[in-house]
Structure 1
Amino acid sequence: MAGETDVYEVPTYAKCIEDIYVSISKYVRESEAGTFGPTGFYNQLEEYGYFPMRDFAVVGGLAVLWTIIRYILTENVFLPLGKYTQMSMLNQKKFPESAFKLIFYVCTWTLSTYMLFIKEDKYTFFERPLDLWKDWSPGMFVPWDMYALYMVQCSFYLHSVYGTLYMDQWRKDSIVMMFHHFLTLSLIGFSYAARFHKIGVLVLFVHDITDICLEFTKCNVYLKTRGGKIHKLNDHLTTIGFLFFAGTWYVFRLYWFPLKILLSAALADKSINASVGPLPFYIFFNSLLWILQVLNVYWFLFIVRFLYKIARGQMSEVDDVREIDVED
């Protein structure tokens, strides 16, 4: 749990970037050169990493389970629904992916929201992100709810690698999505092994909400044209979903993510208990978070392009922002 400290004051973007630069550059100057090489990383992993075989087994087993559940839902619910509602053949192939992901992200975001804001002994990481590191120690105990969230998410992204290759409809950014899955899988698995699970919960919280909006929008894109007719309800829900998607992407991924998570990660070495010593994996973990943020900006450019085309009248309706057959 976070300590009872003063309420966190959200900095400006400029102050955030300045503090991040100062903290990271100071860490680099004061660290030994061998810390940043493969040997130094491997030594830290041996000393501080903790990912027992039983957890590997849980992740692998759940990944297989997600694949089986998705296959069962696809064959018995999603595909029959597509045929019953008279979607086009192409949309019948796309719909199961989005429907399955929508259900998954609603469940995981509900859990992280409950943990951070609703339950009686909630975690106060969102309100006090700098307190994330105060009680950090190697191999520290992971509360059961965080453990469950981590195992579920880690296994889902392992399944997603398989899903992108063999189950999903191929899209313009599928290669980028593969990179995203591997990056997310690395972040989740590594942060669990290093016991950076508290900040990991925040990362998942700010990202899952936009995925809900995205998959909701895509489901309605596929549902709005049925039997050769445009259904107004799904058309309106598509527009509303896309606006929420764009808004939550900016607020959660481009505002809260840097100002709460990137800044907290950069200041982590100052925040941990002095008796623990320097925080291991500092540069590596910060690098992974910044790569994730670059991807967030990359995908936001797709959103801006869509909004621009709609504003200019070059598009009359919202379509799948990841679709390969969208006209440039």
Structure 2
Amino acid sequence: MVQVVAVFFVLGKGSSYGLGSVPPRTASLALAGAIVAVFATILLVKHVSVAVGSVVSRYLFPGDPLKKLKSLHKFRDQMWQLAIHVSMTSLEAYILFYEGGETVSWYSNYAHLWVPHPHAQNGLCAQTPQSIQLLYVLQMAIWIDTCFGHRFLEERHKDYFVMYLHHVVTIALVGVSYHYNYTKIGTIVLFVHDASDVPLDLLKIFNYCQLEGPKGLFLVELDYVLTVYTWVHCRFYLFGLLLFRGVICAPREVALAPQAIAHQVVPTTCEPRYTVCMAGYDKARKSDGFGRGHVKGALLGDGSFDVRRSFDEMGWGSHECLPVYWEATALLSTLQLLHYVWFCMLINIILVKLTESTEWHDSARDVYEGESDEEAEADPKPVAAKKAD
């Protein structure tokens, strides 16, 4: 609750860095409306999922796996998560690969994520596209609603506290990214996470429906392999590179580069001017070349930037040109640690299945799902019973 109040306070206060085409009052009202609209949509998806899931489970799935109320509730909760992740992934893909052609190069040149510098991406000269404004308002509303639902409405899993920390960190990251206009890097971070969540949502849904083995067309087994692959590729490889190159190295390369003098413009005339970030640049210039991690004749993104040298010359404290640099790095690093926690749970599912010869849904229940008292009484110690057989 405190964090939500802080979000509305920051939006209402406004920011010289933020999305210049959206007045603070309008942004606050848009977020409030989005929270209500997203919550209503979630309720609608839940009701439809319960109705459709009950019928499909009864007539199509072997053994009617959703006949237990607890299983049906978990299926319902995961269906709206799937709907959210698919819709957000589609919007983010549209922004990155259709609208923002230059953003596609982030795979090979992370410095492009910070050109123009976020200080120059607002106001009259370079307004943030409406699609990104829509994305951020929706994402903030989704995570606020998700955090509320996780705390008060949804069934609890064994990663309850890990997921709750994830919600809190994500709300903070979306708010910081919006306030300081770090929208290029923020959109990609959201895309990498949402895209990799889709196979995971499907895996949980297939597991609740017990679509494993030949009767379930091996959907659980196939999607498990896909989930592990996308998790490693998106959360460890892409996000790991994004965290180190795009968040730790690239902003310092751009903000401290000789070309940075043209990264900010006068709002009324749109003419280049020296940024306040570079006010002390001449003091760091060396007689035989450039300082701050750059060498003489260097071009932005040519690979010659030495991030360690930039820290040695400019110090390890926060730089005036990179607000909340270390705070954002710490929040993103926390997300990466949580990725490892969930990956260990994913791997543990297959280990339990192989070592104890259980079914997939039993392995997932032991490692992740947990069970209610109602389920325990209705189906006591299913794994132990299988071993006895």
Give the TM interval when normalised to the shorter protein: 0.7 to 0.9
Q: Which residue of 1 aligns with 2:29?
A: 57
Structure 1 residue 313 displacement after superposition: 4.7
- 2:383 and 2:237 map into 1 onto residues whose CA distance is 30
SS at match of 1:170: coil
Equivalent position amino acid for 2:104 in 1: T
- 1:233 and 1:148 map into 2 onto residues whose CA distance is 43
Q: Which residue of 1 aligns with 2:296?
A: none
Matches within 5 A, 1:308-327: 308-317=351-360, 319=364, 322-325=368-371
Q: Which residue of 2 aligns with 1:18?
A: none
Q: Which residue of 2 aligns with 1:24?
A: none
Indicate yes or no: 2:335 matched with 1:295.
no
- 1:234 and 1:62 map into 2 onto residues whose CA distance is 38
Indicate yes or no: 2:142 matched with 1:178.
no
Task: Note the residue ranges of structure 2 that are not aligned, 5 or more in a row.
Answer: 1-9, 59-65, 262-273, 278-320, 372-381, 385-389
SS at match of 2:94: helix
Check conservation: 1:202, 1:261, Cα contact below 8 A: no
Indicate yes or no: 2:232 matched with 1:246.
no
Check conservation: 2:17, 2:118, Cα contact below 8 A: no
Indicate yes or no: 2:290 matched with 1:304.
no
- 2:187 and 2:349 map into 1 onto residues whose CA distance is 30
Structure 1 residue 299 displacement after superposition: 1.1
CA separation of 1:247/1:198 partners in 2, compared to 1, >3 Å: closer, same or farther?
Answer: same
CA separation of 1:192/1:206 partners in 2, compared to 1, >3 Å: closer, same or farther?
Answer: same
SS at match of 1:224: coil
- 1:257 and 1:125 map into 2 onto residues whose CA distance is 15
Tell me the TM-score normalized by structure 2.
Answer: 0.66
Task: Note the residue ranges of structure 1 that are not aligned, 5 or more in a row.
Answer: 1-41
Tell me the TM-score normalized by structure 1.
Answer: 0.77
Q: Which residue of 1 aligns with 2:83?
A: 103
Equivalent position amino acid for 2:128 in 1: V
Check conservation: 2:117, 2:254, Cα contact below 8 A: no
Q: Which residue of 2 aligns with 1:136?
A: 117
Structure 1 residue 204 displacement after superposition: 0.8
Matches within 5 A, 1:250-265: 250-265=232-247
Structure 1 residue 235 displacement after superposition: 5.7
Q: Which residue of 1 aligns with 2:49?
A: 78
Structure 1 residue 92 displacement after superposition: 1.0
Structure 1 residue 294 displacement after superposition: 0.9
Corresponding residue pairs, total: 280
Structure 1 residue 151 displacement after superposition: 1.3
- 2:28 and 2:244 map into 1 onto residues whose CA distance is 28
**1:287-315 deviations in whole A, cap 9, x for unaligned?**
11111111111111111212323343543
Equivalent position amino acid for 1:204 in 2: L
Structure 1 residue 119 displacement after superposition: 5.1
Q: Which has the higher contact order (CA 8 A, sep 6+)?
A: 1
Match of 1:93 among 69, 73, 98: 73
Check conservation: 1:116, 1:125, Cα contact below 8 A: no
Structure 1 residue 74 displacement after superposition: 2.0
Matches within 5 A, 1:1-16: none
Greater mean deviation of Cα atoms: 141-150 or 196-205: 141-150
Structure 1 residue 208 displacement after superposition: 0.8
Greater mean deviation of Cα atoms: 244-253 or 254-263: 254-263
- Aligned-residue sequence identity (percent) comes to 22
- 1:300 and 1:327 map into 2 onto residues whose CA distance is 23
- 1:145 and 1:270 map into 2 onto residues whose CA distance is 28
- 1:310 and 1:251 map into 2 onto residues whose CA distance is 24
Equivalent position amino acid for 1:301 in 2: C
- 1:189 and 1:120 map into 2 onto residues whose CA distance is 22
What is the RMSD computed on CA atoms of the aligned residues?
2.7
SS at match of 1:280: coil
Equivalent position amino acid for 1:69 in 2: T
Check conservation: 1:262, 1:286, Cα contact below 8 A: no
Check conservation: 1:269, 1:282, Cα contact below 8 A: no
Q: Which residue of 2 aligns with 1:37?
A: none
CA separation of 1:304/1:137 partners in 2, compared to 1, >3 Å: closer, same or farther?
Answer: same
- 1:189 and 1:289 map into 2 onto residues whose CA distance is 13
Structure 1 residue 261 displacement after superposition: 3.4
Check conservation: 1:221, 1:235, Cα contact below 8 A: no
CA separation of 1:102/1:175 partners in 2, compared to 1, >3 Å: closer, same or farther?
Answer: same
Check conservation: 1:108, 1:208, Cα contact below 8 A: yes
Q: Which residue of 1 aligns with 2:219?
A: 237
Q: Which residue of 2 aligns with 1:33?
A: none
